[in-house]
Chains A and B, each alone.
Chain A
């Protein structure tokens, strides 16, 4: 028993008898997943099939459930392709104890899993991304009023008047607007949003309706209060490696969709 945590430490990863006993009395389910993974790696050369299978079953289920929690249904096949891929990749790494992942999962298994899930989602997003027409077709419209965003998470709408951006609506695009610069944009477009109670689930809206991960990120940064472009400060354009016009068009596009979803009470 570990005196500091009150938890029983797992057997050594090479202790066949210890693991066999832990499986018989079911204690192995309480051990850290890192210890289970290490035992599978180190006991495999002994080829105790029953023992390995019991540990692998527990680890497989735990890994699958963890990954499933991180992958939304807004992916092909409700995200199961990604979950399967990450789960299977995990076991391939487990079977290669000398690989970076094979070593890493003995130390910080959940971190590794999260990382691989993130990488798989990012890869899928990149694969499905299509060239954005708005980015290559400049629209004159971009000079009109820019509605702002609202707050993510539990959706506290940002006060549009306080958004640092859009100060150059008058035409100046020298990119020097600062977070404290005066906002001269017309907030009318989002009046409906504001009026509808501040409990709109913008995050759910983004996840369900905005397929492009970079547009979602742009909108979240916009909700953080970031300007489209700035020479002195961080900006959406700089963070995303896009030009100011594209950043504006993306935000406007999302705002319009958001408004359509919510309806226009006027």
Chain B
């Protein structure tokens, strides 16, 4: 028996709108909204982008730098690697430390900082604090996304690795009169106390 009650999902509707209306007119916007009122906000938002694009048509597009292209390729391979790894559940389920993950990717904290920072840049000390168990969660959304993208892990695996790092922090040199300790700071404290520029700090704390 065929299910006739199947209604198209959000992506189906928006993709069809995208194909049918490259430069949506008011008439088209109203028509699509009346057909799919549950996606009205999305249709309007897509219509706004479509009109921006239509207005820009013919103008030269932005060209990315070779560095950005190279980083994108690195992440593309990571995505394929991650998919392969997730196909092996036993392997994927084993919690790994940041050091293990970084080593498995054949990268380093310095390289990771360059990857995570992108064009904005991020202090290497921030990544070092993360990896060494000197940063408490939760971390900023941009930072979380950037790190997960760079080393091809899920948010869940990020926080599992963060927990491991906090449970077994890497200690600095011991002072003569006291046992070495690691005082983990919050994400915000780590960012604010870093030597990054005010713009970088604002960016990593979530402002534009």
Contact = CB atoms under 8 A, between A and B. Distances in A.
B55 A68 contact: no
Interface string B1-43: 0000000000100110011000001110110010000001110
Contacts of B53: 70, 118
B76 A87 contact: yes
A78 B80 contact: no
Contacts of A123: 45
Contact of A226 (B26, B44, B69, B80): B26
B49 A125 contact: yes
Interface of B: 11, 14-15, 18-19, 25-27, 29-30, 33, 40-42, 44-56, 61-64, 68-69, 72-73, 75-77, 79-80, 82-84, 118-120, 142, 145, 149, 203, 208
Interface stretch (A4-12, A91-99, A181-189): A91-99
> What is the interface residue range for chain A against chain B?
35 or more
Contacts of B76: 56-57, 59-60, 87-88, 91
Nearest to A218: B48
Contact of A118 (B40, B49, B83): B49
Contacts of B44: 214, 217, 239-241
Contacts of B49: 118, 121-122, 125, 213
B56 A88 contact: no
Nearest to B57: A153
Interface of A: 40, 44, 52-53, 56-57, 59-61, 63-65, 68-73, 76-81, 83-85, 87-88, 91-92, 94-96, 100, 104, 111, 114-115, 118-119, 121-123, 125-126, 128, 152-153, 203, 206-207, 213-214, 216-217, 220-221, 224, 226, 234-236, 238-241
Contacts of B83: 92, 95-96
Given A56-B76, A71-B62, 10 more contacts: A60-B73, A64-B69, A80-B119, A85-B145, A88-B75, A94-B80, A213-B49, A224-B25, A235-B26, A239-B44
Q: Which of A44, A56, A85, A240 gathers the greatest number of chain B CB atoms within 10 Å?
A: A240
A200 to B, nearest CB: 13
A87 B149 CA distance: 11
Given A60-B72, A207-B56, A76 B48 contact: no
Interface residues of A: mostly helix, strand, loop or mixed? helix
B79 A88 contact: yes
Contact of B118 (A77, A96, A220): A77
A91 B52 contact: no
Contact of B45 (A125, A221, A239): A125
B14 to A, nearest CB: 7
A61 B40 CA distance: 34
A61 B61 contact: no
